[in-house]
Chains A and B, each alone.
Chain A
Amino acid sequence: MQKGWLSRISILAPYAWLAAFFLAPFLIVVKISLSQSAIAQPPYLPVFDPRAGWDGLRDFLGGLSPDSYASIAADPLYLWSYLKSLMIAGVSTALLLLIGYPVAYALARAPRRLQGVLVLLVVLPFWTSFLIRVYAWMNILQHDGLLNQALIALRLIDQPVSWLATDYAVYLGIVYSYFPFMVLPLYAALERLDPSLLEAAADLGCPPWRAFFTVTVPLSLPGIVAGALLCFIPITGEFVIPDLLGSSTTSMIGQTLWLEFFGNRDWPVASALAVVLLALLVTPIVMVRQREARQLEQA
């Protein structure tokens, strides 16, 4: 009996974790998004007061309104910010795939005894603080930074180029920072790929380049999906990289959100932005999952 009891707890544990650290905070954010901005402490209304009893609860519920969502919908600035974020995340994820796939492929094909070391090298930059690495890029990219000095020394340019505070710098920073998140799932998928499958493809008359697209890519699809999600989702909400490397016009949703929170002290709109962002990201994933589940049932 004790075993059944224990195993039930161990099943509940992850749900309890999710409830405490994801669902509860999320519900608080949803609640704030339905509130009104106010000059008060906390800076929104209504605030639920259990001492007021049922009347208090009724007043509290009556005070909730979707005004913040209406103002988000009304102002194209927010829409623009979302689109910009999705675009930067989409392009960065595509770039990460293009660069990460060959690297992961080479890792998976490297001699076994080298693979551990090579994987370690991919992760090695993570041992330095993320912020320090982004500041390092600021140094490299700035007007009299390493990049301009090197390009001038190589006589490729004769005037320093302003790299910093451009979208290019943002892409560079994102691709650099998220590289391991793309490479590791791809490596895991490619490493499992049975090399005799490629031999079988060649044996059946398929040249290597075609076998790559008909065998290797489809079989590494789970890794591609995992890597893409692992990059796309956090990039969409990225704040530090566009803030430090981007221009004032970059304004990804993370920056807009920061501005609402700390600049305007408008917590309800900021919360509503966060809720909409989550909906934007979660909906397609749920749809993909459902399609997969349906395919599994059919099979």
Chain B
Amino acid sequence: MAALVSFERITKRFGDFTAVDGVSLDIEDGEFFALLGPSGCGKTTLLRLLAGFEQPNEGRVILGGTDLTGVPPYRRPVNMMFQSYALFPHMTVAGNVAFGLKQDGLPRPEIAARVEEMLALVQLSHLAARKPDQLSGGQRQRVALARSLAKRPKVLLLDEPLAALDRKLREETRFELKAVQQKLKTTFVIVTHDQDEAMTVADRIAVMDRGRLAQVGAPAEVYQRPASRWVAGFVGDVNLIEARVSEVYPSFVTLAREGLKLRVTPSAALAPGASAALALRPEKVEIAHAQPEGSAENGAAGVVAEIGYLGAMSLFRIELDIGLALKAAVMNGTAARAIHVKDRVWVSWAADAGVLLAE
């Protein structure tokens, strides 16, 4: 598939601050794409560059083969859903949704039909005559979505669209958003700092850090094969075990640190003597009361320091004897014998459970 949106070596500076630093990125037609990162990483700036609210200092934005440089926001075939929703308080729900269509000078019956269609899509037809300040937060969010979709944009930009909702509503709305996108097959680009949100809705994620792309890939790829310690730490919970490479074989790599021997499936080009980190997700760590027979590698003894009960699973913090703390997530009801705080335990993991990171 051809790229619908191309950022070509985009750099955007605000004074001394470089918000976006030489980013090149392609977004494909029909994709649900997420820009994920902590605040200040440049993800919103990238979105605003595409909407036309900012102009890049270097590089250009291409949309459907057209260079958007110098094209003002009101002539770009993209629409944005604002974090604050930015609904016009002096217009009704229907008036808000119709606003963009009126700018195009569409005939009245067509506008009315499209407004009705959009309100039906977000299940708000019965509130068409209300003003925004008479709606709940969730309803306002849906009006904003309907308004930004009314013009059938080539790309819909969503700037933290769920940030203003409370947790339960936010989780429900993620699926609604995904359903709307699959129904319309419009390209969605969402900006979010919430990795769960990005993982739930997006086909592909670009993780950003300090104005640069840290990794681009499908949610599972980013989660299971993070490209760097930073990505591993930002996307999900992770144990980072720093060690030195001792031997490199085609099928496995061994690493060592004081009191710990690791045998890991290779995932980065490493030479003996190099320092690397094993990124190990807590759910890949197994806990047992005793050390299994003949397992000298990929395991260590320790004491349970804390247990966090999360409902479906419990999160354990284990202080290893070698002076390292490890997090382990275990589904509740699966352990043969209950594990308590201060129990002596043996933690272990498979050779392919973690990812070896050089960066």
Which of B86, B100, B104, B131 is the one whose CB lies under 8 Å from A299? B131
At the interface, yes or no: A205 with Cβ under 8 Å from chain B? yes
B85: shortest Cβ distance to chain A, in Å?
9
| CB of A206 within 8 Å of the partner chain | yes
B55-85 interface code vs A (CB 8 A; 1 in, 0 out)? 0000000000000000011110011101010
Q: Are B74 and A205 in contact (CB under 8 A)?
A: yes
Cross-interface CB contact of B72 among A200, A202, A215, A221, cutoff 8 Å? A202
- Among A209-223, those with CB < 8 Å from B are 210, 214-215, 218-219, 221
Contacting pair A196 B82 (CB below 8 A): yes
Q: Which residues of A contact B104 (CB under 8 A)?
A: 205
- List of A residues within 8 angstroms of B51 by Cβ: 203
Q: How far is the CB of A207 from chain B (nearest CB, A)?
A: 5
Residues of A near B52 (CB, < 8 A) are 202
Q: Which of A179-204 contact B (CB under 8 A)?
A: 194, 196-197, 199-204
Closest A residue, CB atoms, query B157: A203
Report the Cα distance A61→B217, complex, angstroms. Answer: 93
Known: A204-B151, A299-B134. A199 touches B73 (CB 8 A): yes
B212 at the A/B interface (Cβ < 8 Å)? Answer: no
CB neighbours (8 Å) of A214 from chain B are: 99
CA distance A206 to B100 in the complex (A): 7
Which residues of B are in contact with A by a Cβ distance under 8 Å? 51-53, 72-75, 78-80, 82, 84, 86-90, 99-100, 103-104, 131, 134, 147-148, 151
* Across-interface contacts of A200 in B (CB, < 8 A): 80, 82, 86-88
- Kindly list 14 other residue pairs between chains A and B, CB separation below 8 angstroms, not including A196-B84, A202-B52, A204-B79: A194-B84, A194-B86, A199-B53, A200-B86, A200-B87, A200-B88, A203-B51, A203-B53, A205-B103, A206-B99, A210-B103, A218-B90, A219-B90, A299-B134
Our pick among B89, B90, B99 for the contact of A201 (Cβ within 8 Å) is B99
Q: How far is the CB of B289 from chain A (nearest CB, A)?
A: 57
B77 CB to closest chain A CB (Å) equals 9
Across the interface, which residues of A come within 8 angstroms of B89, CB to CB? 219
Measured in the bound complex, the distance between the Cα atoms of B87 and A218 in whole Å is 14
Taking a contact as CB atoms under 8 Å apart, the answer to whether A215 and B73 are in contact is no
Report the Cα distance A208→B52, complex, angstroms.
13
A204-B99, A219-B89 known; A199+B134 contact, CB < 8 A? no
Name which of B52, B103, B134 has the most chain A CB atoms within 10 A of its CB.
B103
Q: How far is the CA of A194 from the CA of B147 in the complex (A)?
A: 18
- Cα–Cα distance between A299 and B133 once the two chains are bound (Å): 11
A-B contact pairs, 7 of them (CB 8 A): A199-B80, A200-B88, A201-B88, A202-B52, A202-B73, A203-B80, A218-B90
